[in-house]
Structures are given as structure tokens and as C-alpha cells.
Structure 1
Amino acid sequence: MSTPAAAQLERWQRFRTHRNKALAADHGWLTLTSFEWLDAQPSGVERAPGLWSTDGTTAALTAAAQDGLTFVETGEPVDGTITATLFDEESLMWVQFGGADGRQVVVELAMRAGRYAIRTRDASSPVFTEFDGVPTFHYNPDLVIEAGFEAYPEPVPVPIGTANPLVDGVHYSVGEVVFRLPGIVHELRLHAEEEKLGALTITFHDETNGDTTDEWRKVSTARPRVDASGKATVILDFNRAINYPSAFTPYGTCPMPVKNNSLDARIEAGEMQPGLAH
């Protein structure tokens, strides 16, 4: 019969298996090989055929059949000029080319900071083909913490930077996760954003950053539980702290933590810097 600790470890191991499989998905984050802004004048780009442009509202691509571009969604060839319109922060896996099946490279159209850009996702990228899992710290049950959650009356927009210095972001803080870490007497607070079904995501710095971990990481919780007295709590499991895509590629536009989301402690749990020995 498994003990609660053994069951907890087993759940974490399943989480790690699913996480590594998700990262290794076709044309996922590990396949990013470029990021380029589009100009008003139709022009070529570094890693994709055709002429690309934008009038600020719509993106356009002009290509001939011999360029070998096809639509990702239908497989139909691109021959002439096609257009697409996105809202800010939206992305579209638009066209593809290359390889024996014509699908080696997918070109993603993205709208970031009010500007159109394209990113290529190449299935032959060594970051993807040589991936064998993200290194992690050993599981630490002491860093599974019950934390309070103090919700704000309304979400508070907080300007933030991103992994791309030309792209600004906004963190919509819905409240603060309040907790203590083992060996640290003072209370800690981290701003949280709300995700699907009321789950929370906390993006944070800690003192392992730049040493054994990337510059920042994130950890998610389930929807806060509220007891009869109205007190809300969440389980903050730092063993499930993960890297943003920008830890694996220089072509991400991932959000940085808000100014105060820095822990004066070494969170030696969760994902380490990619490339470190397991």
C-alpha cells in the first residue's frame, strides 16, 4: 500500500512525463528558429520564402507555387497574395514548407505589442531533435506549501517587460498568494494571474536564477478553495515550477515577473536551466 508521500511523488513523476511530452510536440516551442517583424514594404525574410508585409492592420504574403508554401490548415498551395488579420497577442500557424512532406517548417504569424511578426518553427532544429527532457531538482515535499490567497476586488493591470526587449506586456494581477517558506520567518507575497477555470499562475524570480535555473519561472495552482469563514487557500507546489519557452529559445516573447515577485530564497525545486546535467 502506497504512503501519502509515495503517492505525491508518483503524481509529480506523471506531471513530469506529461510536461516533457508536451514540450516535444510537433512544431512546439522547441522548434522556434527565428523571429522577424514585418515591414510595410513587401520583402523577403531570413528563413521562409515569399514576400511578407503589413499595413499595420493586416499581414500579407505573396508567393508563387514554386516557392512550395502551403496552408497549414488545408494543405492547399499558396499562389498569389494572401492576407490575415490578428488581434494583439494572437498567433496563427499560417503556412508551411520544406522536407519530404512539405511540413518541415511552419511559419507562425503573430501580433505582439501592436506589430506583426513571423516566427519559423523548424522540425529539424537541434533544440527539438536532441531534446531528452528538462533537468529538474529532486522532488522536495517541504516545498509543497499551503498558501493563503487574498483576492483583489478587480484585476489590476501591471506593466511588465518580456523576454523580447521590444515587446511590453501587462500582468493582470487578481490577488496575492501569501505564504512562508521553511527556514524563513517573514511572510512572502506573490502576485497571481487567473487562468482557465479560476486556476492561478505565479511568475517569479528566486535566488537560483542565473545559477541553476533560468532568469524566471512560473508555477500554477488549482482554483482557490474558500472555507466557511471566507478564507481562501491554494496549494503552492514549487516542484511543479516550470520554465517559460524563452528558457529554450531566444525567439519567445514570454512575460517577466511583476516588480515585487522576487523571493529572497533559493527555490531548489522544479525545472532547472535547460542544458544542465540531470
Structure 2
Amino acid sequence: MSTTTAELDRLTQRWGRFRTGRNTALAGPDGWLTLTSFQWLPDTPSALPGVPGLWSVRGTTAVLTASAEDHLTLRSSGEAVIGTITAELADEESINWVSFGSVVVELGVRANRYMIRTRDSQSPTLTNFSGVPIFDYNPELVVTGTFEPYEAPRVEVIETAHPEVPGRAVLVGEVSFELFGATYRIAAEEGGLGSLVVSFHDASNNLTTSHWRKLELTRPRPDGTVVLDFNRSINYPSAFTDYGTCPAPITANSLPVAVEAGERDPRK
């Protein structure tokens, strides 16, 4: 995409605002940078490393038993947890259930199994965060593509960042576009307000970028055209933490070229 100086200034200013918002969101007190553990709940009441109380699963219910000495409080009300409390969630649901000190314990269901994750606002990943490392803005990596919807959404089983948690992608169509002189097609999921989201691998993964990334496209125009601004490629939470269950791209969404735009690997 060729740009004038004025257009480039406008695009870089918009990109700068996008980057500021992105970094602010990541630095939230209960955000992805606060994750410090992931544990499956056992079938019998048991102590788990790093968290007070006794945790277990009873049928389709998560169970927590605590005493006053555990200093656990309900996240929703601040009320002390003394005795036994329970919660029931559906697959892929999560709640910030209880807390102690600077730690919030998230209860969730993944792969139809209950798990807990701790979110610590004093996590070094958060306290040392000064922004995601990024590539310089490159207007040549803003391209126009064409969206071709499927007659009906297609569901594919995919891997995730956690080896014990399978995922699923609901694909609504494919986007074709030209990049570095070649034409590619990648499948898209539906995003918010009619936008499209693509998860993709490229040749920069595990070198200068993380294992995979995602990109939100503009809402398709009436003629099916969409804008792919690869400068807005962002990492999944699993790029920052070992405790994510983020969806991997489908196999076909692998670009053989290095897309060095957007967010770099934050661990390198």
C-alpha cells in the first residue's frame, strides 16, 4: 500500500494510540501478566501448592474448604471464606473466585475439567512490564484483501498453548491477500462488531516473534474487501505466561514468509 507523508503520519498516530491502549490493558491488576500458576483440581479435598484451603471437584461442582487462618475472601463481596463454598461453571467459563493478599484465584473449566490459576498483582512479569516489544511501523505491511464467507461456519479442532487442553475454531470464511509478491489465503473467525480475526503462524515465529499471533481485520466492505494491517499483529497471553490456554492457528494458517510487524516475542 503506497502512502503519502500525510497518510503515513495519520496511520502512525493511530497505531501509536492502539499501542498505548494495548499496553495499558495488559498492565491491569488482574490481567494476563499476573498469572503465576495453573493447577487442575483433584477429586478429593487436597492442599495445592501456593494457595490456602482444600480444593476438589465433586461431580460437576468445584469445592473449596477454608478456615479463618487461611485468610481467603470472596472476590465478589470481600466476605471471609470460613467453611465450604462451591461453584458450578460450564466449559470455557472462568470467574475470579477468591483472593488472599495480592493474589486472586481464578476458577475455570478447560477441557471439561476444573482448574485454578493464580493472578498475583506483584508478579514480576507485571511489575517489570514497560510495554510489549514491537517492530517499527511499516506501511508496506498494510494490505487489502478479499473476504469470501463460507456458506455456513466450519468448526475445526485445534491445539492450544496447554498440551492437555484441546480447542476449537469456528471459521466463517477465508481472506485472500498479496504479501511480498505472493498470494495467500487464511481462514478467519468472527470478531466483535462484524470484524474478522485471524490467528496465524509465520516464518518469524520462535525467532523474533512468539509461537503464533493474531490480527483483527476491518469489517468487510460491501464488495468483500478488508484491510490487513500486520502492524497490529498481537501476541496471545501465552506469549507472556506459561499458564495460558490460548488457541493455536489451524494448520492452513501458516505463512511461509517472515511477517516482522506488530508485536515481538516478549521473552526474547
Question: TM > 0.5 between the two?
Answer: yes
Paired with 2:91 and 2:150, the residues of 1 have a C-alpha distance of 25
How far is 1:196 from its partner? Answer: 2.1
SS at match of 1:180: strand
Match for residue 185 of structure 2?
189
- Structure 1 runs, 4 residues or longer, greater than 3 Å off: none
Which string of whole-angstrom CA distances, capped at 9 and with x for unpartnered residues, describes residues 201-246 of structure 1?
A: 10000000010000100000132111xxxx3111111000000000
Paired with 2:59 and 2:201, the residues of 1 have a C-alpha distance of 35
Paired with 1:82 and 1:168, the residues of 2 have a C-alpha distance of 29
Matched AA of 2:156: V
How far is 1:16 from its partner? Answer: 0.4
Matched AA of 1:77: A
Matched AA of 2:53: G
Q: Is the 8 A contact 2:91 2:112 kept in 1?
A: yes
Q: Is the 8 A contact 2:239 2:267 kept in 1?
A: no
Matched AA of 2:262: G
How far is 1:195 from its partner? Answer: 1.9
Moved more, 255-264 or 196-205: 196-205
Matched AA of 2:107: L
How far is 1:20 from its partner? Answer: 0.5
Paired with 2:266 and 2:134, the residues of 1 have a C-alpha distance of 9
Matched AA of 2:185: R
Match for residue 91 of structure 1?
94
Q: How many residues align?
A: 264
Matched AA of 2:232: R
Q: Is the 8 A contact 1:34 1:251 kept in 2?
A: yes
Matched AA of 1:242: I
Matched AA of 1:15: F
Matched AA of 1:259: T
Matched, 1:251 2:243: yes
SS at match of 1:153: strand
Given candidates 136, 139, 142, the residue that maps to 1:138 is: 136
Matched, 1:208 2:204: yes
SS at match of 1:19: helix
Which string of whole-angstrom CA distances, capped at 9 and with x for unpartnered residues, describes residues 30-84 of structure 1?
A: 0100000011101011111000111241101000122110011111110111111
SS at match of 1:225: coil
Matched AA of 1:114: N
Given candidates 49, 55, 58, the residue that maps to 1:55 is: 58
Given candidates 29, 36, 40, the residue that maps to 1:37 is: 40
- CA RMSD of the aligned region, Å? 1.0
Q: Is the 8 A contact 1:63 1:80 kept in 2?
A: yes
SS at match of 1:128: helix
Q: Is the 8 A contact 1:157 1:170 kept in 2?
A: yes
Matched, 1:158 2:156: yes
Q: Is the 8 A contact 1:56 1:116 kept in 2?
A: no
How far is 1:275 from its partner? Answer: 3.6
Which string of whole-angstrom CA distances, capped at 9 and with x for unpartnered residues, describes residues 79-113 of structure 1?
A: 11111111111110000001xxxxx0000001001
Q: Is the 8 A contact 1:90 1:110 kept in 2?
A: yes
Q: Is the 8 A contact 2:240 2:267 kept in 1?
A: no
Larger strand percent = 2
Q: Is the 8 A contact 1:135 1:275 kept in 2?
A: no
TM-score, length basis structure 2: 0.96
SS at match of 1:22: helix
Q: Provide the identity percentage.
A: 56
Matched AA of 2:142: V
Paired with 2:63 and 2:142, the residues of 1 have a C-alpha distance of 49
Q: Is the 8 A contact 1:56 1:115 kept in 2?
A: no
Match for residue 233 of structure 1?
225
Paired with 2:113 and 2:88, the residues of 1 have a C-alpha distance of 11
SS at match of 2:150: strand
Match for residue 111 of structure 1?
109
SS at match of 2:179: coil
Matched AA of 2:152: E
Given candidates 122, 127, 131, the residue that maps to 1:129 is: 127
